[in-house]
A and B are shown apart, each in its own frame.
Chain A
Amino acid sequence: MAEDLHLKDHYTEQRLFRHRMLVACAGVVALLGVLVARFYYLQVVNFEDYRTQSDENRIQMRPVPPTRGLIYDRNGTMLADNRPSYNLSLVMERISDLDSTLELIGRLVQLDESDVQKFRKRLQRRRPFQPIPLRFHLSEQEIARISVNEFRLPGVSVEAELVRYYPMTRLFAHSVGYVGRISERELNDFSEEDVRRYRGTQSIGKTGLERSYEDVLLGEVGYENVETNARGRVLRVLERHDPRPGSELTLHLDARLQQVASDALGENRGAVVAIDVKNGGVLAFVSKPSFDPNMFVTGISFKDYRALSDSLDVPLFNRALQGQYPPGSTLKPMMGLGALAAGVIDRETEVKDPGFYRLPNDRRLYRDWKRWGHGKTVDFVQAMAESCDVYFYDTAHRWDINGMHEIATRFGLGTRTGIDLPIERPGLFPSRAWKRGARGMPWFPGDSLNAVLGQGYVLATPLQLAVMTATIANRGTHYKPQVVMAVDGIEQPPEVLHHVEASEDNWDLVFEGMEAVVYDEKGTGKKAGAGLDFRVAGKSGTAQVVGIAQGEQYDSEALKERHRDHALFIAFAPVDDPQIAVAVLVENGESGGGVAAPVARELFADWVSRPLEETVQMISAEREGGFSG
């Protein structure tokens, strides 16, 4: 095939090309010369420098992981500690036959099938020459047996590592949380800076404070130059840049109050949150049932995890932070205050309660919880004391949803509280706009009646209810709840999110109503104040259980139990100078006043009547004995 190249000067072009190629060759040769010179410089001229770092005594720069910051409760009780753990580790590069090595180790130390399984999983994402742990927490005898047989076990070593330990076990699992081994996914998400910071560190905060304060708890990695012999054993440390340990956290939480709250709940499922009225500090934070966070630290076995995650009681679920429940009548004090402040009702407002309420032009009956009603004339205080639903139906009818939504938002419902714990749920307080957007429906007058009683669309977490109660106790100052009191001894200042404006008279009236709940003859929450030498104000609540998952398998007895109403109680004390606000939720507890109120009482009895000296004694006793979860 003939190309149309006749007009081109073929020979000149070829000569031009060859000339150019020769020049390029000269360039290639020159650059090759640079590379050769570079190798010569590194491997011959500076060889002595590098040889001292390798051959006989290799110098390695090793990252020194920082010790993780400790966590204490407000009295200095240890909640998260670091304990040395002797781990049996294998360096794959030095092991010729893994199976026979494992078999030999199995004869020296206790080795389960699950240990080996987890070890093989870790093997899949190791770096060369990295020691891979096979067993954690060796006993002294096991260490001795390994070291006697060391010569038969090349590549096997016992290494000390600081491992997180939670001395209170299940008591703080839902607040302090736990650390775990850095997962593959977390490793992939690391930035270059994270890779540097976590060099040598094995674990990372997974839940609770361990996760939200990961940055300050971690500390700063150090490094050291160590001399090792040909077999990789460290002979001495030449140079060391110390790591900076992680910051120490002191919490608002009180270990004893936490224990009291946990005990008071007994075998029930539920949550208790107690808040320091003066600054929003979280004094107790309980979600039951709980679990032992220590199981997660070095990696939980598949079987144990299945047991936890498949349990019908969902112990891993943080009810206080993530459980969204209809708050029921516990909203009445807040709603009452809002209606008083808006001028919808006043102290004298009276409502007739025949046991039901009917909207104009609506045939539907909105029932009171009490079948035959609370009588001919129910006023505000009585409506609170006896939890009269009809009074509040009437209030809601004369008020409007915008006002209700606004007051609920001021008290923190429907939005995340901003607590320093991860993965908080926001709950829900409906508004016209929300219903139109989410449900595509207009707002009906009946919706307002449901909302005022904390039912229908309304959902709140126990934490939100505690914040709401503290805000009432404070006469309107809405603090952001905080678990951490101080980082490395530096106090974290309280943060005011809102201030709810209302006249002193209105606050007094709400207080009076909540006191009547506890002290009125017909009060629904009398158990909250029984036998206490200071005054308590509270409000009971009951919430219907909605939506049991279909098709789940459990026996009818359990099913029946799980259909019962949730019991709620909110309270604060003492009335004349409020210190502590409490929200209690007992799942399927049926009666707020009967089941939840006594729990609140136990917290008040412990906290308010605790003299200063007793606190000091308690700390020293704790140091010796410790608590059991």
Chain B
Amino acid sequence: MASRDFMHRLPDSHSSLSRPVSLSRRWHIDVPLLTLLVLLCGVGLGVLYSASGGELHYVRRQAIFMGIAFGGMFVAAQIPPDMYRRWSPWLYVAGCCMLVAVLFVGVGAKGAQRWLEIGGFRFQPSEALKLAVPMSVAAFLHKRTLPPSLVSIVGALAIAALPAALIVQQPDLGTSILIAASGLFALYLAGLSWRMMGGALLALAVAAWPIWQWGLRDYQRQRILTLFDPDADRLGAGWNIFQSKAAIGSGGIYGKGYMQGTQSQLDFLPESHTDFIIAVLSEEWGMRGALLLLLLYVLIIARGIYISFMAQHVFGRLLAGSITLTFFVYVFVNIGMVTGLLPVVGVPLPLVSYGGTSVITLMAGFGILMAIGTERRRVSF
């Protein structure tokens, strides 16, 4: 470590933090990010308490999950990015093996097989892939010259496509698309040529009709149709969107007050404590609350982008960028869905919706982000 004066000349993620230098140095914790995450989780628990009708049951469970998740984040932050890079192929292979196992021995409910059960403990392998895929793509591109050559592009696409294809079989279209997207983000950030992206978009547009016709299941088509005409079947498929829009709209600018959102959200709004929780917040706190929540997300995303800017290596840069952009996609897809802009795909609102697995995966992702952000500068060029 003979680079102390070198560090002073470089813009550094933690040199701007004057106060607890030891926290960031010794424990690899990014204090602004941690502060924002704690704030967001606090908001999440508050809304959850209201959404579950003033009962502590869900709040208590979620708080326990968050505790575990912060622990996981802390552990993830201690591992040097280099180690992630070297481990990522193994993580990836193990994840894909579990996905294959899910197809054969998985358990599940309502026509989908998503869980593996080992010794009474249940988990969802697709969650692990949410991190393994961007990590593997970033690691794959790390050593190659950028912008990526055609071979690199094909390789990176293959890495993202395999797990996505396996997850579609479960079937879980939403998660599959999000995992594929996380890999594509890494590829995009690595410098995939614009022309190629344009070509891919064009191909997608051409393929849209056959996909609609043969690629989607009936309930998926129904959800997309509902988007265009939610009033068509108020008691059936349109129920969720109709009720969530009513809840949000009636909140107005100032909202009805905490725990006061009686009209549409409670008896009528389904999944109010999971996927549709932002409708509860928007009804009770109004546009004020919704925008403040958005602001929190924006700050977290901004911090993530900053970390990716300051990252030392291609791997860290791509991984941090991909994790951050994927996080944004979660936020956008969920809010878009609840406000009736996007079809209902079952994506929870990060760190606010009730659900343990998603919180743990997200926080592990932020732990990796912190590991990248607090990596000590090394002379490497």
Residues of A within 8 A of B (CB): 1-10, 12-14, 16-18, 20-21, 24-25, 28, 31-32, 34-36, 38-40, 42-44, 46-47, 49-51, 53-55, 58-61, 63, 92-93, 127-130, 192-193, 196, 199, 221, 223, 232
Contact = CB atoms under 8 A, between A and B. Distances in A.
A35 B236 contact: no
A21 B381 contact: no
Contacts of B301: 28
Nearest to A127: B267
B291 interface: yes
A129 B249 CA distance: 20
Interface string B301-327: 100010011000110011001000100
B266 interface: yes
B246 A53 contact: yes
Given A3-B380, A21-B321, A43-B287, A61 B250 contact: no
Interface string B236-261: 11010000011011111100100000
Contacts of B168: none
Contact of B235 (A18, A31, A59, A196): A196
A16 B146 contact: yes
B108 interface: no
Given A8-B314, A35-B336, A54-B256, 17 more contacts: A5-B381, A12-B146, A16-B190, A17-B190, A31-B328, A35-B294, A36-B294, A39-B287, A39-B291, A43-B248, A43-B286, A44-B253, A50-B249, A50-B251, A128-B272, A196-B235, A221-B235
Given A35-B335, A47-B249, A129-B262, A2 B321 contact: no
30 contacts: A2-B380, A3-B380, A8-B314, A13-B314, A14-B317, A16-B146, A16-B190, A16-B191, A17-B146, A17-B189, A17-B190, A17-B321, A20-B190, A24-B185, A24-B325, A25-B305, A38-B336, A39-B282, A42-B339, A43-B248, A43-B249, A47-B253, A50-B249, A58-B263, A61-B234, A63-B235, A93-B266, A127-B266, A221-B235, A223-B234
A93 B54 contact: yes
Given A2-B380, A35-B332, A196-B236, A40 B339 contact: no
A110 to B, nearest CB: 29
Contact of B248 (A7, A20, A39, A53): A39
Contacts of B262: 58, 129, 232
Contacts of B380: 2-3, 5
A127 B53 CA distance: 9
Top 10 A-B residue pairs of the complex, sorted by shortest distance between their CB atoms: A50-B249, A50-B250, A54-B250, A128-B53, A128-B266, A54-B263, A129-B267, A42-B249, A43-B287, A129-B266
Given A21-B309, A43-B251, A93 B268 contact: no
Nearest to B249: A50
B56 to A, nearest CB: 13
A121 to B, nearest CB: 16
B45 interface: no
Interface in B157-206: 185, 188-191
A13 B188 contact: no
Contacts of B256: 54-55
Nearest to B237: A192
Nearest to B302: A25
Secondary structure call for the A interface: helix
A35 B249 CA distance: 14
Interface in B39-78: 52-54
B332 A31 contact: yes
A31 B342 CA distance: 12
B264 A54 contact: yes
A399 B266 CA distance: 73
Contacts of A128: 52-53, 266-267, 272
Most chain A CB atoms below 10 A, which of B82, B147, B246, B301: B246
Given A18-B309, A38-B339, A127-B267, A92 B328 contact: no
B268 A61 contact: yes
A12 B147 CA distance: 9
A8 B314 CA distance: 10
A20 B189 contact: yes
Contact of B246 (A18, A35, A50): A50
A24 to B, nearest CB: 6
B159 to A, nearest CB: 19
Interface residues of B, number: 61
A47 B252 contact: yes
A34 B301 CA distance: 17
A51 B287 contact: no
B276 to A, nearest CB: 13
B18 interface: no
Contacts of B328: 28, 31
B294 A60 contact: no
Contact of A20 (B54, B191, B249, B313): B191
B97 interface: no
A8 B145 contact: yes
A51 B267 contact: no
B188 to A, nearest CB: 6
B251 A24 contact: no
Given A17-B190, A39-B291, A42-B249, A60 B234 contact: no
Contacts of A8: 145-146, 314
Interface string B211-244: 0000000010000000000000011110100000
Interface string B342-381: 0000000000000000000000000000000000001011
B329 to A, nearest CB: 9
B341 interface: yes
A565 B256 CA distance: 75
A14 B248 CA distance: 42
Contacts of B309: 18, 21
B277 interface: no
A390 B163 CA distance: 75
Contacts of A21: 189, 305, 308-309, 321
A28 B326 CA distance: 11
B298 interface: yes
B128 interface: no
B290 interface: yes
Contacts of B147: 16
A199 B250 CA distance: 24
Most chain B CB atoms below 10 A, which of A2, A32, A129: A32
A92 B235 contact: no
Contacts of A93: 53-54, 266
Contacts of A221: 235
B283 to A, nearest CB: 8
Contact of A49 (B249, B336, B381): B249
A47 B301 CA distance: 30
Nearest to B297: A32
Given A128-B267, A192-B236, A223-B235, A36 B291 contact: yes
A20 B188 contact: yes
A5 B145 CA distance: 9
A51 B188 contact: no
Most chain B CB atoms below 10 A, which of A10, A13, A42, A221: A42
Nearest to B341: A38
B189 A60 contact: no
Contacts of B381: 5-6, 10
A49 B248 CA distance: 12
B252 A43 contact: yes
Interface in B112-162: 143, 145-147
Given A18-B309, A43-B286, A50-B250, A24 B188 contact: yes
B250 A39 contact: no
Given A25-B305, A63-B235, A130-B267, A42 B245 contact: yes
A12 B146 CA distance: 9
Contacts of A7: 145
Nearest to B286: A43
A267 to B, nearest CB: 49
A31 B298 CA distance: 11
A129 B335 CA distance: 25
Contacts of B314: 8, 13, 17
